[in-house]
Amino acid sequence: MKRSLINARVIDPTNGRDGQYDLHLDGGRLIAIGEAPAGFSAEQRDDLAGKLVTPAFIDLGAHLRDPGPRYKGSLVSESAAALAGGYATILPRPDTSPVLDSASHIRTLLDRARDVAGVRLAPLGALTQGLEGELLANMAALKSAGCVALTNLRQPIRDLGVLRRCLEYARTFDITVVFQAQEAALAGQGCAHEGAIASRLGLAGISESAETVALTQWLLLIEQTGVRAHVSLLSSARAVELVRDAKARGLDISADVSMAQLHWTDEQLEGFNANFHLEPPLRSAADRDALRAGVVDGTIDAIVSDHLPHEAAAKSAPFAVSEPGMTSLETMLPLGLALVKAELLSLPRLIETLTFSARRFGLKGGMLAVGEYCDLAVIDMAHEWRISSETLVSAGHNTPLLGMLLNGRVEEVLLGDTCYA
């Protein structure tokens, strides 16, 4: 279908575009920005004055719960949640059941995702077999099957010789390694940031050093092996400094932070709201401010959802034994716009952080390119809506935002010639 989107504010950080433009589409491809091509006659013309058009978002590390316990979520429910949040592509994590550590598991997942016909998947494969940190996964087979990166998430690789071989092999096969820095021996059974609040509440703490010690080890081995790496879910000010220093030394490393870490601190644990039980834990206000500064100055490249849906029972237990995680794909945009409204982040920088993974992991999309298939989101930044069990699409309703009024909502995601509204 021939379609024109006119009078929208268009932000495309990759191409340095921020202004009012008309977009012209034909057969799912973007054929012109600005003036319509000669002879072009739109069958549908949408006046988007006051609306925002951006490349559709890309999220790294969301948990789609599939394959695995369907009562927590499924490809159908979480794919729909991703589209509602403005996402075109998700890089799902491999700690499913079974673990995504073989080519057959990856191909099965991608076949099922095509049947669902929703958001695109670019899976993260397991770095070690079963994520057990002992035997290397078949990296070449995983890459051939469609994995765009490998990770052991937060699961420990205790033998540093094994970790070094993992990085060397990944370097050989030219595949990015994603890691979450946490030293298991220092984290112990902690469930909160180690500090005055955790002590007063009687919660076992996770120290900043659990992150920084592990991060330092990883950075040294990344430097030695020359592997391309991405550190996910930074949580402390000191970790931001370590990444900043590593980039300054020329390491091929990128980084992300969850939206939750940019908004909240361990003060939210007062009252034992289990929806704030996260991994890594919410830390101090100083840590949150350093993470925000890291996003602004480019030390942190991406803001991710860390989407982890749960059933109600998983969060009804006492805080320490509740399951960590938050459903968040659908609230990323309004929470990001809240940072913009508070003048903590510019709108173009927010969009840049939500599309960064396309460039880092060699994925399609993440920009508006004439001649290419459309991957775009239409956003009403003024739309006010109240988040509730009825308005959430995800199977998980584990968010502290239930009942709150939010500003900003995705009206439409256009993937090729398919419109999701």
Catalytic (active-site) positions? 306
State the sign of the Cα–Cα–Cα–Cα dihedral 139, 142, 147, 153.
negative
Task: Provide the strand spans (E) within 232-351.
Answer: 253-258, 302-304
Which contiguous run of DSSP H or E holds residue 381? strand 375-386
d(CA 103, CA 126): 11
d(Cα 413, Cα 83) in Å, to the nearest integer?
7
Sign of CA dihedral 347, 351, 356, 359: negative
Q: How far is CA 337 from each of CA 81, 349, 354, 382, 392, rounded to the nearest angstrom?
A: 18, 11, 12, 10, 18
Give burial (CB, 10 Å; 0-12/13-18/19+) of 35.
exposed
State which amino acid sits at residue 162: V
Among 42, 50, 54, residue whose Cα is nearest residue 15: 54
> Structure tokens of 165?
């071989």
* CA-CA-CA-CA dihedral for 264, 270, 274, 279, to nearest 10: 50
Residue 158 CA to residue 320 CA, distance in Å, equals: 25
> To 10 degrees, what angle do helices 75-84 and 103-116 make?
60
CA–CA distances in Å: residue 308 to residues 111, 191, 264, 272, 396: 22, 16, 17, 19, 8
Kindly report whether the peptide bond that precedes residue 92 is cis, defined as omega within 30 degrees of 0.
no
Helix (H, G, I), strand (E, B) or coil at 193: strand
Contact 192, 208 (CB under 8 A): no
